Amino acid sequence: MVGKMKSAVLHGPKDLRIDTIEIPKPDPGWILLKVKAAGICGSDLHLYKEKTFIPINSVLGEGIYVPGHELSGEVYEVGEGVTTLSKGDRVAVEPTVNCGRCNWCQIGWYNICVNSGLIGFYYIGGLAEYCVVPEDKCFKLPKNVSFEEAATLDCIAVAEHAINRAEVSSEDSVAILGAGSIGLFAVQGALHAGARNVFVTGTHDFQTKAAERFGATAVINARKENTVERIMELTNGRGVDKVIEAVGGDAPVLDEGVNMLRRRGILVATGIFLNPMPINMFSLVTKEVRLMGAWGYGYWTHMKEFALSLEMLATGKIDAKPVITHKYPLEETSKAFEVALDKKKSESIKVQIVF
């Protein structure tokens, strides 16, 4: 397909423009996707809000990119050699593009591929009318899963990867730090994994109320209560078995996580931190805490976590609808970013661009 399309292009902090650019052509093994829904991620907000250490370099050039790595759509055109997809197929997109050759890809840990790119960062993302996607990164949608729900699958899979890294089981009490989209999906994932107690912290009442609706055992507003003291009170001074961090930014949540864990507990961090974070190393060492990162998602055992997340969504084990709070057309992308940033005023959780 040859022609022009509208795209939301980020040229720098607070410089988001609706530009007309060339429709990309699918290479062999790739498809052209007509985008139907795309979410705004926390990493997009960091780059929109301020200059960071994260380099901006894409197929459009240095310093500019088309966001939108949480996306779904309809196959519009298939490239040479594509055999599993046809025009009109409804698909969710796993946005990581991996080399398939490095050691990490070879053993199935493609989420830490040393040569990876990302649709919605290096490649044109879902905040455009069309984008190109590798065939093997497209997952066909059941009829009961909407495009909007499917565009949350990246968040769901990130949460599932963290739950898997923490090895959450029926023996565990779990604290989820953060009640944004990933935190709320982690609540559902931890409960599905059988956790006996799930405690959730958030910074706004609407977030903690959402966590409560999803079945959290107890919720804590971090602006009103001391999270560590409250967790220790809820666990009779023992501490929780596992902590899932889903905040990032500049919040001191890693230190809080260590201090609310029991001895030999596990802390899994999913957030992107913009600066060095303080952490109580004495507690971490003397309690023999395991601190680990969770980057994206991949295979856990024999199944892709993205595919597992889609199955959970399709079968009702995960509910995405309440997480999607705001929807805007492409032309109002700047407004959508501002709404996603100002959570106190807008009470936004997941903000999407829909086509």
Q: How confident is the model at residue 99 (pLDDT cuts 50, 70, 90)?
A: very high
The verdict on 281 and 252 lying in the same domain is yes
The verdict on 163 and 283 lying in the same domain is yes
Q: How confident is the model at residue 146 (pLDDT cuts 50, 70, 90)?
A: very high
- As a whole number, the mean pLDDT across the chain is 95
On whether the CB atoms of residues 201 and 227 are closer than 8 A, the answer is yes
The verdict on 204 and 274 lying in the same domain is yes
What distance, in Å, lies between the first and last C-alpha atoms of the chain?
A: 19
Residue 148 DSSP SS3: helix
Closest to 250 in 3D by CA, of 269, 277, 223: 277
How open is the CA angle 203-43-56, to the nearest 5 degrees? 150
Instruction: Kindly report, residue by residue over 245-292, the tens digit of the pLDDT.
Output: 999 988 899 999 999 999 999 999 999 887 889 999 999 999 999 999
The verdict on 211 and 133 lying in the same domain is no
The verdict on 165 and 268 lying in the same domain is yes
Token pair, residue 106, equals: 């070879």
- 184 within domain boundaries: yes
Q: What's the pLDDT score for residue 62?
A: 87
Q: How far apart are CA 225 and CA 228, in angstroms?
A: 9
- 342 within domain boundaries: yes
- 79 within domain boundaries: yes
Token pair, residue 339, equals: 């709404």
Instruction: Kindly report, residue by residue over 205-221, the tens digit of the pLDDT.
Output: 999 999 999 999 999 99
How open is the CA angle 40-45-50, to the nearest 5 degrees? 160
Q: Alpha helices, DSSP H only, in the chain?
A: 42-49, 103-106, 147-150, 153-166, 181-192, 205-213, 227-234, 253-260, 281-286, 305-314, 333-341, 343-346
Count of domains forming the chain: 2
Instruction: Kindly report, residue by residue over 291-330, the tens digit of the pLDDT.
Output: 999 999 999 888 999 999 999 999 999 999 999 999 999 9
Residue 30 DSSP SS3: strand
139: left (phi over 0), alpha (psi -120 to 50) or beta: beta
**Domain limit, last residue, from 293, 311, 334:** 293
- DSSP characters over 98-126: --S-SHHHHTT-GGG-TT-EEBTTTB--S
**42-49 vs 333-341: helix axis angle to the nearest 10?**
100
Q: How far apart are CA 239 and CA 231, in angstroms?
A: 7
Q: What's the pLDDT score for residue 63?
A: 86
On whether the CB atoms of residues 239 and 288 are closer than 8 A, the answer is no
- 232 within domain boundaries: yes
Q: What's the pLDDT score for residue 98?
A: 94
Instruction: Kindly report, residue by residue over 218-251, the tens digit of the pLDDT.
Output: 999 999 999 999 999 999 999 999 999 999 988 8
Look up the CATH number of the domain holding residue 69: 3.90.180.10
Q: What's the pLDDT score for residue 55?
A: 73
Q: How far apart are CA 140 and CA 208, in angstroms?
A: 33
**Domain limit, last residue, from 252, 278, 293:** 293
Instruction: Kindly report, residue by residue over 326-343, the tens digit of the pLDDT.
Output: 999 999 999 999 999 999
The verdict on 123 and 206 lying in the same domain is no
- 99 within domain boundaries: yes
Q: Tell me, yes or no, if the pTM score tops 0.75.
A: yes
Q: What's the pLDDT score for residue 274?
A: 79
**Domain limit, last residue, from 254, 275, 293:** 293
The verdict on 80 and 192 lying in the same domain is no
| Structural domain of 131 | 4-152+320-354
The verdict on 27 and 77 lying in the same domain is yes
The verdict on 178 and 112 lying in the same domain is no
The verdict on 163 and 250 lying in the same domain is yes
Instruction: Tell me whether strands 90-93 and 138-140 are parallel, antiparallel or unpaired.
Output: antiparallel
Look up the CATH number of the domain holding residue 254: 3.40.50.720
The verdict on 140 and 184 lying in the same domain is no
- 308 within domain boundaries: no
- 309 within domain boundaries: no
Walk across the sheet containing 290-293 and list its strands: 218-221, 197-202, 173-177, 240-245, 261-269, 290-293
Length of the chain: 355
- 313 within domain boundaries: no
The verdict on 210 and 252 lying in the same domain is yes
For the residues 125-140, what does the mean pLDDT come to? 98
